[in-house]
Chain A
Amino acid sequence: MTTTLTKPPADAAPEPPKRSRGPKAARAGGQLHAGPVAYLILIVFSIVSLFPLVWTAIAASRDNNRLAESPPPFWFGGNLFKNLDLAWNDANLGEAFFNTTFVAGVSAITVVILSTIAGFAFAKLRFRGRGALMLLVIGTMMVPPQLSVIPLYMMVAKLDWTDQLQAVIFPSLVSAFGVFFMRQYLIQALPDEIIEAARVDGASSWRVVWHVVFPAARPAMAVLGMLVFVQTWNDFLWPFLVLTQTGNPTVQVAVAGLGRGYTPDQSLIMAGALLGTLPLLIVFAIFGKQIVGGIMQGAVKG
């Protein structure tokens, strides 16, 4: 963490001379070079973004008494692995990890497939009621999920799904955002001629989806999959309502349980919070560029 933190200033330092060397080249590109002030703001903001995460690790590596002293610790102690181990076993995090990965994986795959075929229909096929249905999809993005929580809970209770993972999975299979996202992508990424060509070759609609749409949509599908995965992994309200800490918790429910239990061991809580966040941060470190690109792409044509 610290090595990445010190990197940007090193990058930023040689910037001003370069700027004075070629102002013309910069103007030719149309885009202005950033000055030192811009870098300073970005670096401060980056530190603010990362600090709570780094400090979670610091607090998780200390013992509880040290956290109740002033000044608070700024550097790592020696208890990290002991605390991680305790949190892992205390909060049943192993099972929670398995559960969350399963839930997030199933909903990511399903949402991606359903959104792609629906998005394709909205982007490229003509059918009666298309406009009205698309309006409905966009409208549902505006409905707050809390509104559906009570009847969903009743349904789940009636089906005897309380504490079962399917209670979390089923409502997360619908994503209006996903349909919208894939539609926007496919309008541009899939030229009409390709579909027509496939049609001329005698391909049925399903074959077109399989052989033309899916290959063309693959980059967007990957991004949407990651976004849905992150969202489902971090989802709190609904899992918190239908799952208990003892029966099939997700990571978020288990971590929240650490904080709400009557063990006031803060370093243990921080160890749990760290474990709950780490997998996603690793995913972000690896696929960050693609995720950033995906969010930006989903946003532009909104």
Chain B
Amino acid sequence: MATRNDTAAPPTKEGGAAPGRPPADAVSPEAARKRARLSRRWQRDMRWSPYAFVSPFFLLFLAFGLFPLIYTGWASLHQVELTAPTDMSWVGLRNYTRIFDDEFFWNAAKNTLTIGIISTVPQLLMAMGIAHILNYKLRASTFYRVVMLAPYATSIAAASLVFVLLFGRDYGMINWALHFVGIDAIDWQGDKWPSQIAVSTIIVWRWTGYNALIYLAAMQAIPQDLYESAALDGASRWRQFLHVTLPSLRPTILFTAVVSTIGASQVFGEPLLFDVNKGSSGGAEHQFQTLGLYLYEQGWVNQHLGRASAIAWTMFLILIVIGIVNYVISRRLRASS
């Protein structure tokens, strides 16, 4: 906050000085011509410079964002092999019908959904609780915020490798801790649910603090007098949270939900590196293979880029549907409140 004021201050002085400068009135014809020329240049500048400012972004975006997006759709209608990516032969929708008949696709889709739910829901709920606590007057509050962001600074690769060891079946720390509460060793890699929980844990660990900060920022933007008037009306702390905090946070919650959904649909590095068999199938029985991993397996291991493109576009379409559902639900919620 302080920094913003710092930067705003010196230029204001400049602005204050500007009117003091004498405007050139009473001009010779030559000066008038010069001014006309300047003003033409001025107008051109005013008119075109905004486009000059945004064009580098959009040029790069066209090349590395929009073109690939459309081209993936085009490639998904062809048979393309990784070994000869320029050799494309038209197959129509066959890539799509093939993946829809593929049990591994559906398996990966289901895994992505369940991993998405068991990673996103606890993550956002915990983030909300932590943000609420961080919103109190705290000692060393910056310390907690920085510490909670440390997992965000850790890469997927490093985090996944550590969690592989922590979740080890025979010598892992988590099973070792569980045996004290009388739980037998869990096969965190081999069994379906434990492995999906383990993969989700990596995601939850990395992103909870980050989301907590986003909620905290939104909470701090809520005007204090809303709470004061709620308190005057006799609302308890919990009711204040329900009736003041949550409604004010609705746009932020929607935002984090959308971002997390997109993130969850793409989970790739965690299941790839969590696989002790060093494969790309997400466990011996594909028990934690996600769509992202399946796309990689089809495209780069089995070398069918066309089919991988069809998977990518299917993922995109699913996301659009989720986005629309999200939008409808949030509108309903707004209408009902």
Q: Note whether A and B form a binding pair.
A: yes
Q: In this complex, which of A233, A258, A296 has the most chain B Cβ atoms within 10 angstroms of its Cβ?
A: A296
| Interface contact B158-A56, CB-CB below 8 Å | yes
Please pick, from B51, B148, B155, B315, the residue contacting A234 in the complex, using a CB distance under 8 A.
Answer: B155
Query: B278 — nearest CB in chain A belongs to which residue?
Result: A260
| Interface contact A269-B161, CB-CB below 8 Å | yes
Please pick, from B8, B136, B214, the residue contacting A299 in the complex, using a CB distance under 8 A.
Answer: B214
CA distance A288 to B148 in the complex (A): 10
Query: B319 — nearest CB in chain A belongs to which residue?
Result: A144
B316: interface (CB < 8 Å):
yes
A41: interface (CB < 8 Å):
yes
| Interface contact A292-B50, CB-CB below 8 Å | no
Residues of A within 8 A of B150 (CB): 49-50, 53, 281, 284
Q: Which of A29-57 contact B (CB under 8 A)?
A: 29-34, 38-39, 41-42, 45-46, 48-50, 52-53, 55-56
Residues of A within 8 A of B228 (CB): 30
CA distance A209 to B50 in the complex (A): 11
Residues of B within 8 A of A234 (CB): 153-156
Please pick, from A130, A154, A200, A280, the residue contacting B153 in the complex, using a CB distance under 8 A.
Answer: A280
Identify which of B103-111, B113-121, B169-177, B191-199 touches chain A. Answer: B169-177
A108: interface (CB < 8 Å):
no
Residues of B within 8 A of A2 (CB): none
Minimum CB–CB distance from A142 to chain B (whole Å) comes to: 7
CA distance A226 to B159 in the complex (A): 20
Q: Which of A196-223 contact B (CB under 8 A)?
A: 196-198, 200-202, 204-206, 209, 212, 215-219
Q: Which of B50-72 contact A (CB under 8 A)?
A: 50-54, 56-58, 60-61, 63-69, 71-72
| Interface contact B262-A142, CB-CB below 8 Å | yes
Classify chain B's interface size. 35 or more
Please pick, from B66, B176, B295, the residue contacting A70 in the complex, using a CB distance under 8 A.
Answer: B176
- Which DSSP category, helix, strand, loop or mixed, fits chain A's interface? helix
Q: In this complex, which of A115, A151, A158, A280 has the most chain B Cβ atoms within 10 angstroms of its Cβ?
A: A151
Identify which of B11-19, B25-33, B281-289, B329-337 touches chain A. Answer: B11-19
Query: A152 — nearest CB in chain B belongs to which residue?
Result: B68
Q: In this complex, which of B15, B258, B316 has the most chain A Cβ atoms within 10 angstroms of its Cβ?
A: B15
| Interface contact B57-A174, CB-CB below 8 Å | yes
| Interface contact B136-A277, CB-CB below 8 Å | no
A75: interface (CB < 8 Å):
no
Minimum CB–CB distance from B142 to chain A (whole Å) comes to: 5
Q: What mask results when residues 157 to 188 of chain B are scored 1 for a CB within 8 Å of chain A, else 0?
A: 11111111110001111001000000000000
CA distance A299 to B71 in the complex (A): 32
Q: What mask results when residues 130 to 143 of chain B are scored 1 for a CB within 8 Å of chain A, else 0?
A: 10011111111011
Classify chain A's interface size. 35 or more
Q: What mask results when residues 69 to 97 of chain B are scored 1 for a CB within 8 Å of chain A, else 0?
A: 10110010000000001100000000000
User: With A144-B315, A148-B68 in contact, do A53 and B154 touch (Cβ < 8 Å)?
Assistant: yes
CA distance A228 to B56 in the complex (A): 18
Q: What mask results when residues 145 to 174 of chain A are scored 1 for a CB within 8 Å of chain B, else 0?
A: 111111111110110000000000011011
| Interface contact A237-B268, CB-CB below 8 Å | yes
CA distance A216 to B157 in the complex (A): 37
CA distance A251 to B66 in the complex (A): 28
Minimum CB–CB distance from B167 to chain A (whole Å) comes to: 11
CA distance A216 to B47 in the complex (A): 23
CA distance A209 to B221 in the complex (A): 30
Please pick, from B10, B147, B171, B299, the residue contacting A49 in the complex, using a CB distance under 8 A.
Answer: B147
CA distance A277 to B163 in the complex (A): 14
Please pick, from B72, B133, B152, B171, the residue contacting A150 in the complex, using a CB distance under 8 A.
Answer: B72
Minimum CB–CB distance from A84 to chain B (whole Å) comes to: 14
Residues of B within 8 A of A144 (CB): 262, 265-266, 315-316, 319
| Interface contact B136-A34, CB-CB below 8 Å | yes
| Interface contact B266-A146, CB-CB below 8 Å | yes
Which 9 residue pairs across A and B have the least CB separation, nearest first?
Answer: A148-B68, A288-B146, A205-B49, A296-B217, A34-B136, A197-B15, A121-B53, A127-B50, A273-B158
Beyond A46-B148, A52-B151, A259-B273: 14 further Cβ-contacts under 8 Å? A32-B137, A49-B205, A53-B162, A114-B56, A144-B315, A151-B67, A174-B64, A197-B14, A205-B46, A205-B49, A258-B161, A277-B154, A296-B217, A302-B252
5 example contacts (A-B, Cβ-Cβ < 8 A) are as follows: A34-B136, A42-B144, A144-B265, A219-B6, A299-B252
Which residues of A line the B interface, CB within 8 A? Answer: 4, 7-8, 11-12, 15, 26, 29-34, 38-39, 41-42, 45-46, 48-50, 52-53, 55-56, 59, 67-72, 114-115, 117-118, 120-122, 125-127, 130, 133, 137, 140, 142-155, 157-158, 170-171, 173-174, 176, 179, 188-191, 193-194, 196-198, 200-202, 204-206, 209, 212, 215-219, 230, 233-234, 236-237, 240-241, 251-253, 255-256, 258-260, 262, 266, 269-270, 272-274, 276-277, 280-281, 283-285, 288-289, 291-292, 295-297, 299-300, 302
